[in-house]
Structure 1
Amino acid sequence: MDKIAELIESGYECEFLDFKERQYHKDKSMDLLMDIMAMANSRHNGDKFIIIGVKDRPEGKEIKGIDPKEFIDSSNYVQLVLNNIEPEIQFDYFKYEYKGLVLGIFKIYETDNKPYMMRKNFSGLKEGLCLIRKGSMNTIAKRSDLDYMYLNKGQFEMSFLEQTLNAVHDTEGCASIEVVLTNTTELPITIIGGTLYVRNDQGKELSRHHVYGLDKFIGADFKLVLPPKTQKVGQLMVGFESSDPFRLNIDEHGICAEEYVFELLLVDTREKKYSANIKNARIFAIGDFLWKVKRQKGIPHKLRTH
């Protein structure tokens, strides 16, 4: 089931989801501006949706749909919002077929430049008005809401700087891969845990490796603090065992002809999760990580760390 179908069937009105029975026609332009602005300012970090053609009743949703011939082109809405709200809000409006009916979907995304507000007077909306979505209601943003928006500007970004996981630290029982971590927010971010997932090109998980440090092995209790507006580049240390070469089809030379998909998932003290992916990745292993593979093939190996 895709995301939108899931929202239609089991979602409820909240800070990232709203249902409307009818499209926003010209006489409802003020309502559109209020709803888009409030959604964009909500504290939800992901995409936000307004689903048109659904009547939300206390006893359950009524999927009514809209007439495909009366579907309003997205450009009309985009121009209206662009002319009246600042800074620019990124959103799409598109048709979605659901059980033989056509619905309209507003998808609001990349809302990391809050606060969004009226750039000029329009109908009953005054210049400078700032609305925020709280629960299923639109309300005027208060000082505490604006503080939250400004303090949480920016984002935490991470990416891989190489495509090979090097299992070369057999004494510590870990592998490493170079990454860059960037905190562009106004607040410090403390990473307290993480996992590197290795999958094949079909998405099947082959192995998982817990994060144990950056540039040096610390262990399960590692913490990594990134002050505001800082960046760190280093070797991410993750756990690796002698049984992993079997799961990853690594030979006695530490080489594997296969390519993988890596997904890195980090968690901070606020339980917020961050992820990064890389395709066409490889794994290389040496030393005592290969002793089980060699034993299976009858190749002698003198252990150094056992």
Structure 2
Amino acid sequence: MNLCDERTVIVDLIENYEEGDYLDFKREPYAGDSLIDFLKDVVAFANADCTRDRYIIFGVEDKTKKKIGINPNALLDSASYQKLLSEKVEPEIAIEIGSIEYQELIFGFIKIPASNKDRPYIFKEEYQKKGKKIDKGLLLIRRGSYNTTMNRSDLDKIYSGGKFEVSFYGGLLFVAPIQIENQSKIDNELTLGQIHVLVRNFTERPVTIDWGILEILDSQGNLICDNRVMGIGSYQGADLCAYFNLNDEKILPLLTDFNSTHCIILNLDDDGTADDNYTLKLTLKDLSGNTHTAMLENCFIKARGPVLHKIQRKYINMRSYLKVNFKALLKAINHKDYMVIEKIMQSSDVDFKLVKADHIANKEAFPETHYIYELVKLAVEKNDEKLLNYFKKIGLDERIIQKAQGVVLDNKLPNKDFKYWDDILKKEYEEFIESRRFDE
């Protein structure tokens, strides 16, 4: 900006504006003992949450706004002010210093350009001047017309870049029936997926989320299913409307639709546990059309209640079918009668996705896995590579074959105790709340 344009800005500020987070009036320029105030004022302005250039104007009484002007020789040269800043503050703050003539008076100014974006600016060493002291590490910020110490939320806002942020809090997607208020008595309980998210609104305006989708991806990043967000904090249904005020910072349950088909697609067992870890991708959109995303790797999925009825029926059918045909399969393996084996295994009641290596140790809970494991062990004993390859071809978990061959396997299943996960979430939440406490 050239001097002519700068003069226009300074005159406009003097005549039409009050002190605030980008403007301060002073009777006299900083010099001598008042240089400590220079450091405080410039650092506070540089840290201010303001998108425009900041000005300190000399020659105006701050309370009455009376124009008194200054002695042009009272304003130190730019190098002196900049040197003091460089010695006491980090990172470096760029300033511009000058003077203008207006109404036959001289007015000085210090400009802190908006291009100073490397916040927070901090005092890197102690500084004292006749009873006044600046401590090392002091963080100041301009709020309105005064300087104050920065707090935790100021730092959060700086480091987030003034954004609306959403992130997952906890690693469990929990699916269960939930009581819904204001629903009809016939349909006052819905099965929903629930996972906690941390929402932080550090923008300069309220944000309303009106659409969201939760995508569940496999270990290769392929989409398995997508689930509509039905509420944040509380159930809102298809007409999602979640409002976040300025500086809101909350841990809230994110609610998504989830049905019995999802249980099959995600390969849950009849106890509602997936033995695979999935990646979650959350996409939210606000009323302004902005998109906000979050990712979570290695998410556990657990479900309970009526939503499991389809997968439980598949398990029941497979168990009954294998129980009836188990002896015939043993006989066919002993005689290498592959046609009989293939005919039995091609039944729609047989789904090898239900047979999991981690279920081998629990014969009573998962008899279908026990049946298949015994068949595989027999094939291993007979060194029947053709049959083992057939099992692999039709989708049997290779870890079951490895187990039958004597390989020691690690159990991949998460803890099945729902109270365990409730306690984990409670503990994490309490630790989070404790971490937010600070002195203003």
* TM-score normalised over the length of structure 1: 0.50
Larger relative contact order (Cα-Cα within 8 Å, sequence gap ≥ 6): 1
Point out the structure with max Rg over C-alpha.
2
Which TM-score applies when normalising by structure 2? Answer: 0.35
Structure having the larger proportion of residues in helix: 2
Structure richer in strand, relative to its length:
1
